Amino acid sequence: MRTSRFLLSTLKETPAEASIASHQLMLRAGLIRQLASGLYIWLPTGQRVLQKVQNIIREEMNKSGALEINMPVVQPSELWQESGRWEHYGPELCRFTDRKDNSFVLGPTHEEVVTWLSRYEIKSYKQLPMNLYQIQTKFRDEVRPRFGVMRGREFVMKDAYSFHMNKESLRKTYEVMYDTYCRIFDRLGLTYRPVEADTGSIGGSHSHEFQVLADAGEDIIAFSTESDYAANIEMAEAVAPKESRKAPAKEMTSISTPDAKTIAEVAEFLNTPETSLCKSLVVHGTNQKTGADELVLLVLRGDHELNEVKAEKISGINKPLTMATDEEIRAAFGAGPGSLGPVGFNGRIIVDRTAAVCSDFYCGANKDGFHLGGVNWDRDVPSYEVQDLRCVVEGDPSPDGKGTLVLKHGIEVGQVFELGTKYSQAMNCTVLNEEGKNIPMEMGCYGIGVTRVIAAAIEQNHDDKGIIWPAPMAPFQIAIIPINYNKSDSVKEAADRLYAELTAKGYEVILDDRGERPGVMFADMKLIGVPHSIILGEKSLAEGLAEYEERTSDSKEKLPLAEIVAKIEKALA
């Protein structure tokens, strides 16, 4: 490719809307342009990267035995009603009607369509297992699109769906996909970790996420210092403290705490650490026996945070988790949210494992402006349950018993699920087994955020000059930078000859034939992150020399022109 015939579209200045490195660089390097909130055009440079990532994914998926298909973006609403997700998927699901007033959605994912397909195409257990995948555009009307393609509304995803006779077969394919994902992310040159994950609204039982480690990541991952335990913080178990609760040493007393409402304020007012306080949160629940709505009190140690995913999984707590309003709280407790506590509350109380071993603690008095001190479970609060409610914090013991936990930010680039029969049952997707009996197929699903992978790679690989692509993702492998291309015959001749030679060998070469000043060419090639550059100048050429520069280290080396091709071939081998 010659720059004069290419749409390089680089920007010197950073557009104001971009806040993280990958978004800024994708705009500056001319990979993408924003069309509307969460919608992006992929420019030629970006499209080349996108296709490279897609090809690697496709190769590895094909190697794993999966079969590529292509399903429509537009899907009939009836399928979503069949699966039950018409109700459960919120406004994120973009719904519309056609001219005949038939109802459709823009596919945010394709479980319904692929299940519909398999219902017709898979008739016998002899066809199983089968794994179908596509690389396709999805649309999710995100509440808040941000960070460029990291969280766009329209994005490219590789999604695969596997079908099985039984759980053993599903588990086998799950393992194959897990390994395939490792190979894909290894090949892409990313630093990532597979972590235990929540299954979220897609449903299912067993799941791992593939997280690219980067500070800009929106997820938090807990790792063990000693073992390979790793989990999304949503899932990471906060194990029960080993030490048992101390016997009460103090009498319960009421303390006036005017204007102290938050944990930090109360701790400061009482001149005591946050760990000696317990905080109380009120959520909506359903009474297990009567089925009536009720308010449930959740109690955590003052320095800990509620893990909403864990709370939602407790039966009797409404999903999605909804906090009680100030009015509801006042009606039930006779006090506002800043002064709540378990003492005297006669509804359901769920206490976090760590809070449950606190003794002589402080908590709200259920009276505005007052807290209680010297509070003890059992003695002062006779009836309560103990559950794992909180987010883990750094230093917590690892759930597998080895080492302690550290927390890091991650970008979720892939996820593998065991779905089970959630969709096959709801949509009557069955197969005849060896006994001639109709059974719902076991299903798995496996996604990779293709466009997000690119943003994640840039988050991990850039410097102040621009992108430093992992070799397999680079839009071009080699840049030829001729100084005075338009004026010097020797430079032009050498550049054209090298370009022809390297191109004929099958390399992806970009020749900067714009005749720009050297600084402009260097800056552009570094910005778009071409891994290898050949610099040709008239003076060096007169001595038979060319220069080789490598992007990762920005190191330069002069060597005979005749040896440059061999040098490049070695570097790219």
Contact footprint for RNA (CB under 7 A): 10-17, 19, 28, 34, 36-38, 90, 92, 108-109, 138, 140, 142-147, 151, 155, 157, 159, 199-203, 218, 308, 320-321, 415, 417, 447, 449, 465-466, 483-484, 486-487, 515-520, 522-524, 526-527, 535-537, 539-540, 547, 549, 554, 556
The least CB distance from residue 135 to RNA, in Å, is 12
How far is 293 from 328, CA to CA, in rounded Å? 12
Nearer to RNA, 5 or 144 (CB): 144
The least CB distance from residue 89 to RNA, in Å, is 8
**What is the spatial order of strands in the sheet that 253-256 belongs to?**
253-256, 370-375, 361-364
Nearer to RNA, 350 or 535 (CB): 535
Helix, strand, coil shares of the chain as percentages rounded to 5? Answer: 30, 30, 40
**Exposed/middle/buried for residue 372 (C-beta within 10 Å: 0-12, 13-18, 19+):** buried
The least CB distance from residue 159 to RNA, in Å, is 7
The least CB distance from residue 282 to RNA, in Å, is 15
The least CB distance from residue 69 to RNA, in Å, is 17
The least CB distance from residue 111 to RNA, in Å, is 9
Phi, psi of 560 (to 5 degrees): -55, 140
Nearer to RNA, 165 or 468 (CB): 468
The least CB distance from residue 18 to RNA, in Å, is 7
Q: Please count the CA atoms within 13 angstroms of the CA of 463 that sit on its side-chain side.
A: 9
State the angle between helix axes of 450-460 and 21-28 in degrees (0 to 180), rounded to the nearest 10.
100
Nearer to RNA, 128 or 149 (CB): 149
Nearer to RNA, 386 or 407 (CB): 407
Strands (E), 204-329: 206-213, 219-224, 230-232, 253-256, 278-286, 293-301
Amino acid residing at 282: V
- Dihedral sign computed on CA atoms, order 192, 197, 200, 206: positive
Tokens of 404: 């302690």
Q: Specify the residue for token string 């018993």.
A: 401
The H-or-E segment that residue 523 falls in is: helix 518-527
How far is 566 from 545, CA to CA, in rounded Å? 14
C-alpha distances (whole Å) from 365 to each of 7, 338, 376 are 67, 10, 13
How far is 519 from 535, CA to CA, in rounded Å? 12
The least CB distance from residue 312 to RNA, in Å, is 9
Nearer to RNA, 147 or 362 (CB): 147
The least CB distance from residue 104 to RNA, in Å, is 19
Nearer to RNA, 101 or 464 (CB): 464
Nearer to RNA, 154 or 237 (CB): 154
Nearer to RNA, 160 or 350 (CB): 160
